[in-house]
A = this chain, B = another copy of it.
Amino acid sequence: MVSSNNNKDMVVTPWEVTGEVDYDRLIRDFGTQPITSQILKKITDKTGKLHLQLQRRIFFSHRDLDTVLKLYDEGTKFVLYTGRGPSGPVHIGHLIPWLFSLHLQEKFGARLYFQMTDDEKFLINDNINLQHTKKYAYENALDLIALGFKPDKTFVIYDVEDIDLLYDITLEIAKRITYSTAKASFGFKDSTNIGWVFWPAIQAAPCFIHKKLTGENVPALIPAAIDQDPYWRVTRDIAPKLGYHKPAQIHCRFLPGLGSGGKMSASKPETSIFTMDSPEVVKRKIWNAFTGGKPTAAEQRKTGGIPSICSIYQYFFYLFEEDDKKLFERENRCKAGEILCGECKQELFFRLNKFLEEHQKRRERAKDVIEQYHIKR
């Protein structure tokens, strides 16, 4: 996997993920809890077969997931909350927590509040304007909807447009976060703009919006990549003071890019598969991908490949081989030199395109229903 002992260059913050990521160390450093087999058993009791992302520990860490499950057993439901910073097109890596949220929505009947942070992306990027982030808020919502979320249980919040819904809760939160705390949690500097300084309060607000809309006081469960954790630590401190449950979290790994190391990132488009990529583009990116193969076919046949460093293998692991047995077979055949990289690339290309073709059709249809998913007043 992408974890490594040689991780002195690892940087994981809400705005930057670089270097090889050591997930065990993140659990220790961030002070979160590993997802234990005990918790997985509790989940299986409710959902039947474990979702691939739990089975493979792509979701590997949590805060208060046990509490949420206990409350659920006692009759208190939960809502899901996740989001997206709409600065550009969605790539496959973004879909991971969304697909998992969809699974939880279906199995637990949970509402999803989904925040499009068009304000944040504007504030933190010098070179993009609000038209840009609002455009991508729309575009990215199409990708979300295309995954199959139900409109009666899915509430997309566009920050700039829906600030009236968030603002009173945001103020209650902001009043309870000093600049000092924000600086320590988010690494703000004197040169940080005051919009950015305020913004963590806006990211926290959807944790508590369900009560405002329905009167029900239930916890929010946040599926998100672990780099977002600092936001929720501050929010968790404040929640009880405002009479809410602490938001619980379930943390996933980063889908590696097609290069060598590092998460899939829109800032490196050649190593990322975007949902709107054409088959030609997908083909080029896959053919140029970093693998665990050897310099020559002969050598690979002799000594085998290294799936643990192979970006193509990660795609099967994360998304495109649901059958554990087949995944294991692929891994072993690679190690034994029985398959070469071209074969895996060809197979991934086929599966990825099949997925994207279907996704793009659903995404087109989403244009007709997107308003049904917009949070209502």
Q: Measuring CB to CB, which residues of chain A are less than 8 angstroms from any residue of chain B?
A: 119, 122-123, 130, 160-161, 163-164, 167-168, 170-172, 174-180, 182-183, 188-198, 200-201
Most chain B beta-carbon contacts within 10 A, residue among A130, A167, A188, A196: A167
Contact yes or no, A194 B171, CB < 8 A:
no
Contact yes or no, B195 A198, CB < 8 A:
yes
Contact yes or no, B160 A167, CB < 8 A:
yes
* A197 contact set on B, CB distance < 8 A: 179, 194, 197-198
Copies in the complex: 2
Residue of B nearest to A124 (CB): B175
Of the A-B pairs whose beta carbons lie under 8 Å apart in the complex, a sample of 24, sorted by A's number, is: A119-B171, A122-B171, A123-B171, A123-B174, A123-B175, A130-B168, A163-B163, A164-B164, A174-B193, A174-B194, A174-B195, A174-B198, A175-B193, A175-B195, A178-B193, A179-B179, A179-B190, A179-B193, A179-B197, A180-B190, A194-B200, A195-B198, A195-B201, A198-B198
* A182 contact set on B, CB distance < 8 A: 194
* A176 contact set on B, CB distance < 8 A: 193
* A177 contact set on B, CB distance < 8 A: 193-195
* A164 contact set on B, CB distance < 8 A: 161, 163-164
Residue of B nearest to A177 (CB): B194
Partner of A183, one of B130, B170, B190: B190
Closest Cβ of chain B to A137, distance in Å, is 13
Contact yes or no, A191 B175, CB < 8 A:
no
* A188 contact set on B, CB distance < 8 A: 179
Residue of B nearest to A123 (CB): B175
Residue of B nearest to A165 (CB): B164
Contact yes or no, A171 B160, CB < 8 A:
yes
* A167 contact set on B, CB distance < 8 A: 119, 160, 163
A177 to B167, CA, bound (A): 21
